């Protein structure tokens, strides 16, 4: 679908549909997980994959894992901006995080091709975000 | 300071010092503001500037402004990733947001060269984030 065919919001941004949002979530390999930890908003980049419509990523002991263990509502964002052209887009997902414990499922996720750039520390857990809301916006340049 | 001179954290990521974090906050023109709205984590890209050590951006009526009107704790993130080289960095700021009402201050911020790519709707407010915590990490490639 051409960008010009998307409806616009009150700020003049193109409103991306769900298929396009999912396509863009698959297209980039780094996203940002956002959650509330000890009452404070936290945002951390992660290498992610898309499994069906779910966002998946690896993590180890820490605040990201705690969110998933307690099935907290988290947000996940991907975007891409071109400073020269002053254009860009972003996709925001909100959903509950959960740790993947099923071994067959873990085997499948390991084959998704999600590579952690940072050193991976043991033990490693897979976290799945099941989207409840997905929205995307793109800045039109004309 | 060369990246190799920075200490590393337990994941092997270089820990950027405050000067370097501020330099990178100035270097990019789009960041992501993160806050809690109606109990849900929200992350939205904004064109930002740096005024002293504060993050500043324009906004209009909406959730971002509400955060500032209530002096809520928000987070702000900038990053840059190179998918081919599998390297990248991110800087995270946490601080209280506040609306700028002083006219002299607004005049000064207007001259910072912060350009909103999206259509700017009236009325426009400047929001300032006064950092309480600033941290930055970079993935070493060797």
Task: Collect all residues of chain A within an 8 Å Cβ-Cβ radius of residue B118.
Answer: 11-13, 139
What ipTM did this prediction achieve? 0.88
Task: Collect all residues of chain B within an 8 Å Cβ-Cβ radius of residue A74.
Answer: 41
Q: Over 70: is that where the pLDDT of B139 sits? A: yes
Q: Per-residue pLDDT tens for A85-107?
A: 888 999 999 999 999 999 999 99
**DSSP assignment string, chain B:** --GGGS-B-TTS-EEE-HHHHHHHHHH-SEEEEEEEETTEEEEEEEEEEEETTEEEEEE-SSHHHHHHHTT-EEEEEEEEEETTTTEEEEEEEEEEEEEE--HHHHHHHHTT----SSPPPSS-EEEEEEEEEEEEEE----
Average pLDDT, chain A: 90
The predicted pLDDT at position A136 comes to: 96
Q: Per-residue pLDDT tens for A108-125?
A: 999 998 988 877 777 889
What sign has the CA pseudo-torsion B31, B33, B34, B39?
negative
How many Å lie between the alpha carbon of A74 and the closest alpha carbon of chain B?
6
- Considering the entire predicted model, what is its pTM? 0.91
Search chain A and give the residue with CA nearest B12: A119
- Test B73 with A41 for CB contact under 8 angstroms: yes
Average pLDDT, chain B: 90
Nearest to A11 among B32, B94, B121 (CB): B121
Bigger pLDDT: B132 or B83? B132
Q: Per-residue pLDDT tens for B4-16?
A: 788 988 888 999 9
The predicted pLDDT at position A142 comes to: 57
> Residue A3's pLDDT band (boundaries 50, 70, 90)?
low
């Amino acid at each position: 679908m051409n960008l010009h065919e998307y409806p616009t919001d009150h700020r003049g941004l193109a409103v991306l549909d769900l298929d396009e949002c999912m396509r863009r979530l698959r297209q980039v390999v780094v996203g940002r997980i956002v959650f509330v930890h000890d009452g404070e908003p936290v945002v951390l980049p992660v290498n992610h994959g898309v499994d069906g419509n779910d966002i998946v990523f690896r993590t180890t002991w820490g605040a990201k894992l705690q969110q998933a263990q307690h099935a907290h509502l988290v947000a996940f964002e991907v975007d891409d901006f071109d400073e020269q052209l002053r254009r860009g887009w972003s996709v925001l997902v909100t959903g509950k995080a959960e740790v993947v414990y099923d071994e067959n499922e873990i085997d499948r996720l390991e084959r998704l091709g999600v590579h952690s750039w940072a050193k991976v520390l043991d033990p490693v857990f897979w976290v799945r975000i099941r989207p409840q809301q997905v929205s995307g916006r793109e800045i039109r340049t004309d």
